[in-house]
Structure 1
């Protein structure tokens, strides 16, 4: 008696910063019963299939996880909506039962305990572009697309500007606000994102949006200390965001994953992923 074939998860965005981290994390966080097909728009290490938006789906699939996106300084931010439409089309054409797309906590703007019901007030063009992307996903889902969910990712361990600085030998500077504290942020680890993806793939009903982060925010200065890096303070410039902290009750209720993640554990995970090759 043979076991059932694994279900297929199409993953466009294999070569981006988030995609590379998620490929490395896959080895430790494999989803039982699922086989990833890593998609890139050009041939590269780790790409299983080269595929361009607008082309026929490369194969049948059970679900789509879109990791691609345009970040500040990486191109036209309006292309995030174009990629969202392409991911929805990929879901339809491949026969996927659901589409998961990565959004960002930047849709909210600053604040504490930001829940999925909190009115969005993006503080920058990136957040506005991601909010516009979410609107496209919702519209496409309501028309002919499969059920879809936008994952509002917190800062991703290993992918944000702090971790770029931690990877550099250049002197490190962290903003300090009027209360004497550094920036407070919610973070998501790549392995935690995989757990959230597994939860959403198993869910009977998909939420339209969901916050993805560890249960408690951490200070950027605490992460620097956990990494053993010295840094200098500077007065936070005008427009700097003191706190972006997500409420994760929806995800915790669906997954049962309520364990806190310390700065030391985040740094340990990041270093292990840096040492892996994927």
Structure 2
């Protein structure tokens, strides 16, 4: 550890994204940063920061389908408590594109009209963070797209059998903004280094992806069904703010996303 090296405390190390990010940084260490990983599964309660740290990345959260979605607010509060304990000056809180509801060109300044319980829980988390600033600590809410390898499509890819996708009246399947682990890692480091930390930023790869393209790239057998009422055809995040922070980034196609996921330990059934 050099004198210029800083410490990043990452919570949620035991979750899907935490494990993927750890593998990614094991292969390509974040320059200038020592990473310390913290998981609720460690049993490290009552909550106590294990080290002094310059910044906190709060990955932990209750995911869609979880039994205690309001816990997302509590975990955001815990991240701020840790930041105060360890002397951090920046906290990156993981939110979700679910706070917007369906749509295209969803931007940080647009309306937040979540349609799922998960989206409503994440919006409540955001509102708590924004309403409870802590002196000396900057916060950024990262509204994250579906993470490659850490969301339900990839669970279905890994399970045995044929995968079923919705097909809509226009003949197309679902299209989504996705977030590769490499893009997420780049975004985290850029947000830690930027002079002016945004209050809210969409975090996604710049180009949306058809779900069937990911399934096909993974070599998974699939079939279509008519989309039921309420199914969402398109969710696309606007990434201009993040692109400015990153200074530009080449989009990954479905094949490249699947290749990266496999390199981080993802396997098809």
Q: Structure 1 CA distance, aligned partners of 2:186 and 2:44?
A: 26
Residues 176 and 235 in structure 1, CA contact (< 8 A), matched pair in contact too: yes
- Structure 1 segment 1-278 matched on structure 2, within 5 A: 3-4=2-3, 6-43=5-42, 51-52=44-45, 54-141=46-133, 143-144=134-135, 146-274=137-265
Q: Deviations over 1:120-167 (max 9, x none)?
A: 1111010010011011111222x4361100111100000111111111
Residues 166 and 224 in structure 2, CA contact (< 8 A), matched pair in contact too: yes
CA RMSD of aligned residues (A): 1.6
Q: Structure 1 CA distance, aligned partners of 2:173 and 2:21?
A: 28
Q: Deviations over 1:190-220 (max 9, x none)?
A: 1110100010000112111111111110000
Question: Which ranges in structure 1 are unaligned for 5 or more consecutive residues?
Answer: 44-49
Q: Structure 2 CA distance, aligned partners of 1:148 and 1:99?
A: 5
Distance change (3 Å), C-alpha of 1:62 and 1:271: same
Shift of 1:55: 2.9
Residues 161 and 221 in structure 2, CA contact (< 8 A), matched pair in contact too: no
**When the two structures are superposed, what TM-score results if normalisation uses the length of structure 2?**
0.95
Residues 60 and 95 in structure 1, CA contact (< 8 A), matched pair in contact too: yes
Shift of 1:6: 2.1
Q: Structure 1 CA distance, aligned partners of 2:264 and 2:249?
A: 23
